[in-house]
Amino acid sequence: MNATGLIPAPHRAYELLDGAHYLLDAETLLHAGPGTESTARWLRATAGAATGLPLPPGEDHDNGVLLRISPGIERELGPEGYRITADGHAIRIEGGGPAGVFWGAQTFRQLLGPDAFRRAPVVTREEWAVPCGVIEDAPRFGWRGLMLDVARHFMPKGDVLAYIDLLAAHKLNVLHLHLTDDQGWRIEIRRYPRLTEVGAWRERTKFGHRASPLWDERPHGGYYTQDDIREIVAYAAERHITVVPEIDIPGHSQAAIAAYPELGNADAVDTASLGVWTTWGINPNVLSPADTTLRFYENVLEEVLELFPGSFVHLGGDECPKEQWRASPAAQARIRELGLADEDELQNWFLGHFGRWLTERGRRLIGWDEILEGSALGADLAEDAAVSSWRGYAGGIAAARAGHDVVMCPKQQVYFDYRQAAGDDEPVPIGYVRTLEDVYRFEPVPSELTGAEAERVLGAQANVWTEVTEDRRRVDYQTFPRLAAFAEAVWSTLPPPPERDFTGFQERMAAHYARLDALGVDYRPPGGPRPWQRRPGVSGRPIDGSPPIV
């Protein structure tokens, strides 16, 4: 089958009859075998709405589109693997499991052409052609994710749902929601209403990098009710995407302290005077290591666990300054009481407590690579704790060698708040230049890991931090088209980075840009930003040169 334009690239595609097509029309039936009903609903709601074809229910022997879970596909390609066979009689989409069928349906939608990505028909067309042939495909990694930072700039629920659809269109299966930080608390906790009454709102916002003299004087905020979260999680589950919540501790917590000052180190700083932070950077106001703080966050997490059924809960653990703990008599007494060496070990103990707490409830802690610090490779952490390696590859390498699972998300490679070109037109330029080609050549498994250690790499995710990304259009610009390159790097079986066919990828992107246009994505064009995508006069923090591999 001609796979021109498919992204991510399938594992294998070949033609049955050169130039032959299966034609879908108003009489085409859609049969959903057991376990594929949700994919059938999705197809009618998306491809059906875009083409105007009703796709009424049919039987498995009918001429039409047939959805089926196949034990043979599962044995051969795994539960997320699929096979599409289009011949003169039918289009069969078979998956190793429900997710495999859904990913196959995503490929089928791409085969229909970019107009199949619209919400209603834009042309009168009696027939829709799919080339005859076979596609066999399966993902390289089980964790293919995107982190959305909804704490720094709140993203309304409708935009989050739209991003879930965009992840699904690229066969990504993890949405990591960064829900709490110094600049905002974005999830309703019924036991502690001030977390959203106070912590979800800030008086104003630094516009640009923290060194910028500019301010947006409008109050900013918002949060998701628990029913909003249930809707987001259910919407994602229908698309075989797991939502991983992040509740940041013990640093990045000023919004929580502003709501409940007793959570901070009140014997070292006037916590009652703190508000939700209005600027960016590493904040000195961290949680107190008191028992009351532990109980507070246990109660928070009890409600979080009810809302998010996935295995992992992200607890941050990064960028926790220790000055307040050094100045706090209560924190110093805690260190002596526990027999710890220093404040780094106190942080390791703090996170270790919640790792064990989650394990007792059948869940797993995942945190940024600082959770390894404080004792010998995070010795106080639960054995099943996983690491998001963000400062480079080194944290992930150390974690894998210590027996922890790893999600690779090195900032030098897959931080999408980083600028996409060196030109002056790039809006609020942050960090290193990370082009579409740079992301396409991203390799999640470093050469230092082999065998069982390499198998500890669950996959990878790209991270979209939103300090200077104030709304959905800016998130689109930073994320796309680079997310398409990332999706191929984590789904497809590609050669080593220097040998990858970026020219071929660019040729396939020509078709994919049309899909993004149909979906209404405000991506960065290959030639540079459009006039409304620029932010003249708003300072960033560009870093020159090539990023180090660390």
How far apart CA 445 and CA 453 sit, in angstroms, is: 10
CA dihedral 265, 271, 276, 278 (to 10 degrees): -90
Alpha-carbon torsion angle 540, 545, 547, 548, nearest 10: -140
Residue in 94, 181, 188, 426 annotated catalytic? 181
Is residue 74 annotated as part of the catalytic site, yes or no?
no
CA 345/CA 507 separation, integer angstroms:
51
214: its two tokens: 């500019």
Q: Token match 């990878």: residue?
A: 460
Contacts of 293 (CB under 8 A, 6+ apart): 263, 287
One-character DSSP codes across 222-235: --B-HHHHHHHHHH
Query: 224 burial class (0-12, 13-18, 19+ CB within 10 angstroms)?
Result: buried
Phi, psi of 89 (to 5 degrees): -105, -40
Is residue 427 within 8 A of residue 533, CB to CB? The reply is: yes
State yes or no: is 270 an active-site residue: no
Q: Is 239 left (phi over 0), alpha (psi -120 to 50) or beta?
A: alpha
The Cα–Cα gap between 285 and 387 comes to 24
Q: Measure the N-to-C terminal CA separation of the chain; round to a whole number of Å.
A: 41
Residues 6+ apart with CB under 8 A from 465: 149, 152, 178, 415, 417
Active site residue 149: no
173: phi then psi, degrees, rounded to nearest 5: -130, 10
Identify the active-site residue in 267, 319, 344, 471: 319
Give me the catalytic one of 31, 153, 170, 252: 252
Residue 394 class from Cβ within 10 Å (0-12 exposed, 13-18 middle, 19+ buried)? middle
341 φ/ψ sector (left φ>0, alpha ψ -120 to 50, else beta): alpha
Q: Which ranges of 125-187 would DSSP assign to H, the alpha helix?
A: 157-169
Question: Cβ of 532: how many Cβ atoms within 10 Å?
Answer: 10
Active-site positions?
181, 252, 319
